[in-house]
Structure 1
Amino acid sequence: MKEKNTVIGFIGTGVMGKSMAGNLLKAGYEVHVYTRSKEKAEELIGKGAKWASTPREIAQQTNVIISMVGYPSDVEEIYLGEQGLIECAKEGTLLIDMTTSTPSLAMKIAGEARKKGLEALDAPVSGGDVGARDGNLTIMVGGDPAAFETVRPILECMGSNIVHQGPEGSGQHTKMCNQIAIASNMIGVTEAISYATRAGLDPEKVLQSISSGSAGSWSLSNLVPRMVKGDFDPGFYIKHFIKDMKIALDEVEKMGWDAPGLTLSKSLYDGLAEAGEENSGTQALYKHYN
């Protein structure tokens, strides 16, 4: 949709959103940004983004709107509030929520949007701060297939693995699969590197051996080096990972089964959050063992 009349609104310029919006600017799109703290958008404004003081202003000035915020409650407020996007957006606007949120909320937003002559996609992402920076995020999309094809060129500015998963809510369900896989994997990679340290091994050499074998994973290759260096800055906040795991566990309960690996992982991260690590990156699980 690299058309002259495409004007993108971007809501949420945090750790990942800032880079994602920056890649849209780099691709030549006109981008209007809104975040609760204008200070977080200053870098983007310096690169040519236009500031909007409210989501309503975004809705009035753009025809494709992307959100990348923190919690489902934020998504609900932005889309379904009295001054929300669905109430204020121009007919024909395409809405893309890239926040990890609940499947049920994604379905509700899509239904309400359609009543107003809008289309809404749920398109959560994976890849962390590095993937956002490099424009090679994995993007999991739910919603109308025609709307997806319309915005695919926009998504391609932010991601390299972009899959339409099915109707509204499917993107969020797929992201839950992603988070469930990561949850148990984070325990495994952290215990492995902690074992290496206690055995008197050089963890970097251990990583060199096991990261390219059958034990290899994104978390092992990208997060263990941060653990070893004592770098616990957030590529993805613990508080947001806990939020995601809670959503997944709620969905698991609705399905009538249990997920013991996910339950254990959430309990470990809950403990870290209670110890004041909620704003650290997920690799801070290393602190539980050391």
Structure 2
Amino acid sequence: MFQPNNTVIGFIGTGVMGKSIAGHLLSAGYPLIVYTRTKEKADSLLQKGAKWASTPKELAEQANVIFTMVGYPTDVEEIYLGEAGLISNAKENTYLIDMTTSTPSLAIKINEAASQKGLHALDAPVSGGDIGARDARLSIMVGGEHEDFLKIEPILNLVGNNIVYQGKAGSGQHTKMCNQITIASNMIGVCEALVYAKKAGLDPENVLKSISSGAAGSWSLSNLGPRMVKGDFEPGFYIKHFIKDMNIALQEAEAMGMDTPGLALAKSLYEKLVEQGEENSGTQALYKYWE
């Protein structure tokens, strides 16, 4: 079992969600080493007792459980498979848990490379945004060896409340694609409903009270709908990262011979927002498309 007295956790990527996830692990008493490209993003963790690593290599040499949550598959590949990356420098029997939303094929590649080095790799993307990360109520979808999942599950329970083993390497990422496909079309519906309410002369907050708990209810409606009404478009999850996810899902669906018109439409609408400079806004800024 991984206990604070025999475990050093490394965490790479302390952005909107990563910072909260790492904070829960630190609060649980685990020694924590962090690395992020912009050190200032880790200041709050360092003030609470986390230690700083200047490179992924330095972090890998000290930790025996390492979490990563970075931006893009290219970042994941560099951190794991690069010459100065985790797999080349981690100690034998280290557990590597990638929470980045990345490609299933890369997750499989990392798992195979890790296994050859006596390491244990899991793809474990999450859903729940900044609120889920803050409240330790993330949904975590895990791919990899089942035995490895069982060993790391108690630590995952510190940051999530819905942790499901999905199957072999890559399965976590495939499940996250299902999640993102669902959100993509749902976000269009949420935005259209609230714009409709406004144009009909209704009080959007009152409308939310009626429809959030009925058949139309969804996480996006309950958590992001109020932000839209208030004009709060700060990122719980960046538009630029959502577009990255939708591109992965479209590519995977195409490879399986599947048509995804709802996903394609959502991506096209978000890309129009990017053209207007909204790439660093939260996904709820899709509401602005109708303004």
2:41 and 2:149 mapped to 1: Cα distance?
Answer: 29
Encode CA deviations 1:142-165: one digit per residue, 9 max, x unaligned. Answer: 001111111111101110000000
In the alignment, what sits opposite 1:162?
A: 163
1:6 matched to 2:14: no
In the alignment, what sits opposite 1:58?
A: 59
1:125 matched to 2:126: yes
Contact 2:4 2:29 in 1 (8 A): no
Q: Equivalent residues in 2 for 1:59-98 (5 A)?
A: 59-98=60-99
Corresponding residue SS for 1:276: coil
Moved over 3 A (4+): none
Q: Equivalent residues in 2 for 1:186-205 (5 A)?
A: 186-205=187-206
Counterpart residue identity of residue 140, structure 1: M
- Give 1:3 shift: 4.9
Identity %: 73
- Give 1:26 shift: 0.8
In the alignment, what sits opposite 1:44?
A: 45
In the alignment, what sits opposite 1:242?
A: 243
Contact 1:2 1:153 in 2 (8 A): no
2:196 and 2:115 mapped to 1: Cα distance?
Answer: 53
Encode CA deviations 1:172-202: one digit per residue, 9 max, x unaligned. Answer: 0000000000000000010000000000000
1:3 and 1:230 mapped to 2: Cα distance?
Answer: 42
Contact 1:140 1:171 in 2 (8 A): yes
1:244 and 1:85 mapped to 2: Cα distance?
Answer: 24
Contact 2:4 2:31 in 1 (8 A): no
In the alignment, what sits opposite 2:255?
A: 254
In the alignment, what sits opposite 1:208?
A: 209
Q: Equivalent residues in 2 for 1:132-147 (5 A)?
A: 132-147=133-148
1:209 and 1:160 mapped to 2: Cα distance?
Answer: 27
In the alignment, what sits opposite 1:178?
A: 179
Structure 2 residues without counterparts, runs of 5 or longer: none
1:281 and 1:103 mapped to 2: Cα distance?
Answer: 25
1:15 and 1:96 mapped to 2: Cα distance?
Answer: 18
- Give 1:79 shift: 0.1
Encode CA deviations 1:220-267: one digit per residue, 9 max, x unaligned. Answer: 000010000000000000000000000000001100121000000000
Structure 1 residues without counterparts, runs of 5 or longer: none
1:165 and 1:171 mapped to 2: Cα distance?
Answer: 6
